[in-house]
Amino acid sequence: MKKYFITFIVIALASFVWVSCSDFPVDEDGLLITTRGQCYVSNFELLGADFQTVRTKAAVIDTTAQTINAEVFFGTDLKNLYPQFSLVTDAKLDPKIVGKVDFSDLTNPKKWTVISGNRLVKKEYTVYITVQPKP
């Protein structure tokens, strides 16, 4: 009986050690590095200071040209907007969005880089904002 008991403990411990030592690489942000090579933006949202959308219609995302075109309502406060990107699985965005973004300089559109799940593919997207014409 003692022999079985000890054997059971040893097997249990061995399995814990095996699981804990499995190799799951993570990047500097603590995010999992996977085998996925896809790298694109699937959706784009733009919220005002009141966390309501400021888009007049769905943003046009061109994954080949790597551009996002969004039209915002007349009177949108471009200095205080929250962009939201939806990315392909496992991808991440650089630089990170940590708060409000100033889009008021329309001649110098903002750019973000999408990095694939395997961290090997990087694509820079340019976000072009146009404001609904003055009535």
Partner 1 sequence: MQLKYYSLTLLTLLVVFFTACQDEEYSLPTLEPGLHNDVIKRTLGPNVVGLNLEFAYAMALPQAEGKIISAQVEASIAGGPATYMEYRSFRTNSSGVDVPAIIGSPSVTSGTKTEVVFSKDTCAATLRYFYIIPEEARGKTVSFTFSAKASNGQTVTYSMGPYNIAKMDMKLDLVVSDNNNSYISIADMTAYNATTAAANAAKIDLVYLYRSYTTAAFNHALVAPSANPDYKPGITLPAGVSNSAKIWKVWALRDQHLARLQYGIYIDDVDFQQIDFTGAPDYAINLRAEAGTWVETADGTYRAYIYINKIDNAKKEMTISIKRFLMK
Residues whose CB falls within 8 Å of the CB of residue 130, separated by 6 or more in sequence, listed in order: 69, 70, 71, 72, 106
Pairing type for strands 67-72 and 122-131 reads: parallel
- For residue 133 the two structure tokens come to 């014409």
Site of interaction with partner 1 (CB under 8 A): 1-2, 5, 48-52, 73-75, 77, 79-80, 100, 132-135
Query: Which C-beta is closer to partner 1: that of 89 or that of 130?
Result: 130
Q: Residue 47: phi, psi to the nearest 5?
A: -110, 145
Query: Which C-beta is closer to partner 1: that of 96 or that of 134?
Result: 134
Query: Which C-beta is closer to partner 1: that of 9 or that of 120?
Result: 9
Query: Which C-beta is closer to partner 1: that of 30 or that of 133?
Result: 133
The least distance separating partner 1 from the CB of residue 70, rounded to whole angstroms, comes to 16
The least distance separating partner 1 from the CB of residue 83, rounded to whole angstroms, comes to 16
Residues 100 and 89: their CA atoms lie apart, in Å, by 24
The least distance separating partner 1 from the CB of residue 8, rounded to whole angstroms, comes to 12
Please say whether the beta carbons of 123 and 39 come within 8 A: yes
- For residue 83 the two structure tokens come to 């962009």
The least distance separating partner 1 from the CB of residue 33, rounded to whole angstroms, comes to 37
